[in-house]
Amino acid sequence: MGLYDLGGPVQDLQVNGSTAYVLVGTGELRLLDVRDPANVQLLGTHRTWGTQSLAVTGTYAYLARGSRGLEVVDVSDPAKPVWVMGLSAAGPAQDVAVVGQNVLVAGGDKGLLVYRLEQQIYPPLAPPVIAEGLLTLSWPAMEGVRLQRTSELLPAAWEDVAESEGTNLVRLAMTGSTGFFRLAMGQALPRPTNLVWIEPGTFVMGSPDDELGRWPWEGPQVTVTISRGFWIGRFEVTQEEYLALMGKNPSRFVGDPRLPVESVTWFEASDYCAALTAREAAAGRLPAHYVYRLPTEAEWEYACRAGTTTRRSYGDDLADVELVDYAWYEGNGGGTTHPVGLKRPNPWGLYDMYGNVYEWVQDWWDFSLPGGTAVDPQGPAWHTHKVLKGGNAIMDGPARNHRSATRAGGEPEAASSNVGFRVVLAPRLSD
């Protein structure tokens, strides 16, 4: 038996596998790991408003929010719940349940409203923004979307009131816009596997002058804005994945298909991304204007830091005693690579961001960062080397080289057994 203090009254509770979804009061959804009742762990939280009931199925949580209708939250990554969309109900959404492909919402004296789950919701929508009389809805990678309205839900007569017109935004003047709304999607795409969605945001890239273990080329620090969200590999690309797509395995360390692929040049890593893009595009699984590619250095460090400002994503760890739980490096690597995903992930669910193998990124190397502020930076125009991030377990792998700001350079045509990569699914850099 165990006791976990939630700090407030429990409004509702659902359990799906080893994860408990707890509605605390009416304002917060907490996701808990309950595999060990004596040691319950908090996985993630999601702020909500006026929520009275919840239901969980598959990768989504459905929150009944009274007069605010129904809220849909992507909980595929329990450490990082993502708001997907809000849906109007015929009356106050007092309770919610899921039966098969149907989401049932109790609407008070308006009766029961049934939503049919015809497809996965992908990609996630950003929360709606209302400013200067305009409602703006946006999503990372979908075009040809129409916003429709009806004055009555049962029966409904939907009319188009706004459309994206080839962009990823829909805007609607709020004056005289009462009614019920829905989005008519231009395309439905399957969720990418083994990728984690990273929201846009702003962070400080590089290390401060007084950070323990820093190298001089980690500054001056830059305040970076990532303006568009992207998907990033939960793991480094494995030998199994590389062999299946490219028909060869150049790695030195073999024996387990889940080992990271290594001994690849920057050009070979880029070729893998191009081949993956071609395969997924041919199968109709790519959002408009999105490609598989190497992350920029800014994207990589933003995802690695996962909202933190410390030396590492789990804290400063000045004595380097906790690093063994998160990374394969010189202190525990044994001079070889290890299957991906065996160490603890960062707060956004990414594994092996420190250690195992260095990771190629898109940018050319420079012996300093530019300082100041930047939006979606892509590094210098040219250099003899490309940037490597993350540290490694094979050579030159002391603890100081396994920090969020760590950066090194490598010749793009060189292949080394301590260098691999991970992919992002993101807008083309030229878009």
CATH number for 160: 2.60.40
Of 84, 118, 152, the last residue of a domain is 118
**Cis bond before residue 380 (omega within 30° of 0):** no
CA distance 421 to 222: 24
CA distance 216 to 226: 24
Our measurement of the distance from residue 279's CA atom to the centroid of its chain's CA atoms, rounded to an integer in Å, reads: 22
pLDDT at 304 over 80: yes
Predicted local distance difference test score (pLDDT) of residue 154: 57
Of the two residues 131 and 322, the one the predictor is more confident about is 322
Q: What is the CATH number of the domain that holds 67?
A: 2.130.10.10
Residues 161, 72 share a domain: no
Residues 294, 233 share a domain: yes
Residues 405, 262 share a domain: yes
Residues 239, 149 share a domain: no
Of the two residues 75 and 250, the one the predictor is more confident about is 250
pLDDT exceeding 90 applies to what percent of the chain?
51
Q: What is the mean pLDDT of residues 143-148?
A: 64
Q: What is the CATH number of the domain that holds 218?
A: 3.90.1580.10
Predicted local distance difference test score (pLDDT) of residue 316: 96
Residues 239, 261 share a domain: yes
Confidence of residue 175 (pLDDT cuts 50, 70, 90): low
Residues 141, 108 share a domain: no
Residues 219, 146 share a domain: no
Residues 226, 90 share a domain: no
Residues 62, 171 share a domain: no
Of 149, 171, 189, the last residue of a domain is 189
Q: Which of 90-104, 142-156, 277-291, 318-332 has the highest mean pLDDT?
A: 318-332
Question: Structure tokens of 336?
Answer: 């070889």
Predicted local distance difference test score (pLDDT) of residue 75: 87
pLDDT at 148 over 70: yes
Of 71, 98, 118, the last residue of a domain is 118
Predicted local distance difference test score (pLDDT) of residue 345: 95
Residues 183, 314 share a domain: no
Q: What is the mean pLDDT of residues 81-105?
A: 71
The range of the structural domain enclosing residue 51 comes to 1-118
Question: Structure tokens of 417?
Answer: 């057994």
Residues 300, 245 share a domain: yes
CA distance 375 to 31: 33
Confidence of residue 393 (pLDDT cuts 50, 70, 90): very high
CA distance 56 to 90: 21
Residues 235, 164 share a domain: no
Give me the number of domains the chain comprises.
Answer: 3
